[in-house]
Structure 1
């Protein structure tokens, strides 16, 4: 996913994803309709042709029978159906796959600005469920619901017009059957279905969340001997999902039973009407048979209406669940008119003045009148007790939250007046517990700078003293495994640091860079920091005791303010 893709979909509604492919979708609907019309007309024409052939045979050699026109029509309709069905599948599935791709990019583009401020309140498993289950329902909405329903409408109208030309009473019967079998019964089946689909989606999401969290915490569950209790919860969630699916199937089966009864009655009525038309109105036997066979084709077509309506309801529910995530207001707002940062990319003073911050819904001020200056090239460390506000301070500098009072300036400009993208370009950030992704060493490093050359990658590896290890283990294509499975704790933190240092921002922000490391490994990493920074400014959040020479100034955060140490 490129920055261009993110910019394309940021702020766009879900409907924009489908609108971007409207030409393909419209073409697929047209081809779908042609396929259905050709199939219905083919069955009607074939029935009339067979009836005429049989009657001509019974009448003997003297009977006249137009063989060539119907047979030519049958061949033409057969070819039209084959060709249109091929291109309908080609175009429809192409549009669906493009929508599936863009839906996921749209979701990420809309959701990423909400992290971590707003998404922090949503369980990871719930987000995963929406990304997999709900997007799966929405991206197939056209193929399973919208396309078939539109095509059914087109075919029904075409069949009614043909019936009007052949025998108007038959057209009236077909209209009644279309309303009853094609519309009323399917809608009856999905009546109240929105609530059922909402419940079903929530239960499926709960099951996915429990399964995901159980796998993520398998080691802890084993250590606490809590696997049995967790499995009971998963089984209960699975039973609820199965119950929702059974209710859904019962609704569909009831609708199919009602459809079958009405379809049988309608077909008998059409047969009786066709015979009456032949006997009393002089309707040609071939045309009477065509009406009956066309009715058979339409009944088969309308049989799929229930599933299409059900898919439409499920898709709308899933679309609403996706919108509920991405339409949250972000924790910080972009300025209406962003100013341009003077001397962007160059070292400058970072100044925090009289910063006041408290989390929404809490009275306690995490930061209360905090002041801090970091000169160009200066290395500053901030320590403090857990919950004192160290990580909150880093979030404010990253502009993932804004202070209620005070100002943060860089090069004399308020960072709130800059666009988020422009401000983030000035930063190189290593978060607490920075993840290592499944992939190669080069792929992990280039998350910091996608355009970095191999020479730049080797240079930054040398700065964090990972170049020797990389050379001994396959170079830049070394597979590091999921969560850095092939790395030691110290190597994983050095790799995360190298990834941050690849960003060209003049201010490096490190949040607990030695988290989870033993004392010797932590000190070795910290002692290499001054050389690795190459003169850039540093703000390090750490509760560890730092070796001499790592930073220029140390502070302790207490009661919302910084107290100098040493």
Structure 2
């Protein structure tokens, strides 16, 4: 088997999938990522509670009750508004800090894995294509954490909290809300995954070809200018 075949070979049946191997590499950073998930979930829970409390306060205030009847709700609205902002800031700070540290370690492992393949494995790919794969794969690992795992974990926590609170007030409504959240959380991602699988490979190949062409033109710009062939590109 050539170096090119080893690089593009599919995942063997007994070998973990790339996402599973990636998550294993990120285990040393789980404490930082857990803090980011907790801050994100707290921020979303505060926002949800703020909307519910504010709606109740507006409705109750329209009845012109004594101030003491709504004083607790007024304090709660202020506390939730301040807490949401603080937790949102903590979510962004902890999330980006944890993810950037994790991806920095991942980049090191990627380069260490590529070093034994050079220089024999480099000619197997066009340089622009190889550069695109390296940069896009590392960025995809960052997006997997920052835009998928952390928000999804926070959304699950909010869904459980909202369903539990609704069920405590009205069991039928809580059950219906839980069912709708499960359908939205599973059906919509499944449809998106089905569509992206059809277009993702073609898009990746087109982007790789475009990057390779752009890099080749940049490297050969001096030669093209020397031979007066700029207009032909």
- TM-score using structure 2 length: 0.82
Give the drift of 1:163.
0.2
Contact 1:103/1:139, CA 8 A, preserved across alignment = no
Which residue number corresponds to residue 158 of structure 2? 155
Which residue number corresponds to residue 217 of structure 1? 220
102 and 227 in structure 1: CA distance in 2 versus 1, 3 angstrom threshold: farther
Give the drift of 1:120.
2.7
* One of 69, 88, 93 as aligned partner of 1:66: 69
* Alignment partners' CA distance in 1, 2:189 and 2:80: 29
Match status 1:42 vs 2:50: yes
* One of 33, 56, 68 as aligned partner of 2:41: 33
Which residue number corresponds to residue 15 of structure 1? 23
* One of 134, 137, 140 as aligned partner of 2:143: 140
Tell me which of the two structures has the higher relative contact order, counting C-alpha pairs closer than 8 angstroms and 6 or more residues apart: 2
* Alignment partners' CA distance in 1, 2:186 and 2:87: 26
* One of 118, 125, 128 as aligned partner of 2:128: 125
RMSD: 2.2
CA deviation vs aligned residue, 1:482-514 (integer Å, no higher than 9, x gap): xxxxxxxxxxxxxxxxxxxxxxxxxxxxxxxxx
* Alignment partners' CA distance in 2, 1:79 and 1:153: 23
* Alignment partners' CA distance in 1, 2:42 and 2:191: 28
* Alignment partners' CA distance in 1, 2:151 and 2:136: 22
25 and 64 in structure 1: CA distance in 2 versus 1, 3 angstrom threshold: closer
CA deviation vs aligned residue, 1:302-341 (integer Å, no higher than 9, x gap): xxxxxxxxxxxxxxxxxxxxxxxxxxxxxxxxxxxxxxxx
Contact 2:43/2:83, CA 8 A, preserved across alignment = yes
Contact 2:60/2:70, CA 8 A, preserved across alignment = no
1:545-556 → structure 2 map (5 Å cutoff) = none
Mind listing any 5+ residue stretches in structure 2 that lack a counterpart? 1-20
Give the drift of 1:213.
1.3
* Alignment partners' CA distance in 2, 1:126 and 1:20: 31
- TM-score using structure 1 length: 0.35
Give the drift of 1:52.
1.2
Match status 1:208 vs 2:211: yes
Q: Structure 1 or 2: larger strand share? A: 1
* Alignment partners' CA distance in 1, 2:220 and 2:67: 82
Match status 1:104 vs 2:107: yes
- How many residues are treated as equivalent by the alignment? 213
Contact 1:53/1:65, CA 8 A, preserved across alignment = no
Give the drift of 1:150.
1.1
Bigger CA radius of gyration: 1
Contact 1:104/1:131, CA 8 A, preserved across alignment = no
Which residue number corresponds to residue 170 of structure 1? 173
214 and 24 in structure 1: CA distance in 2 versus 1, 3 angstrom threshold: same
Q: Structure 1 or 2: larger helix share? A: 2
Question: Helix, strand or coil for the counterpart of 2:34?
Answer: helix
Which residue number corresponds to residue 89 of structure 1? 92
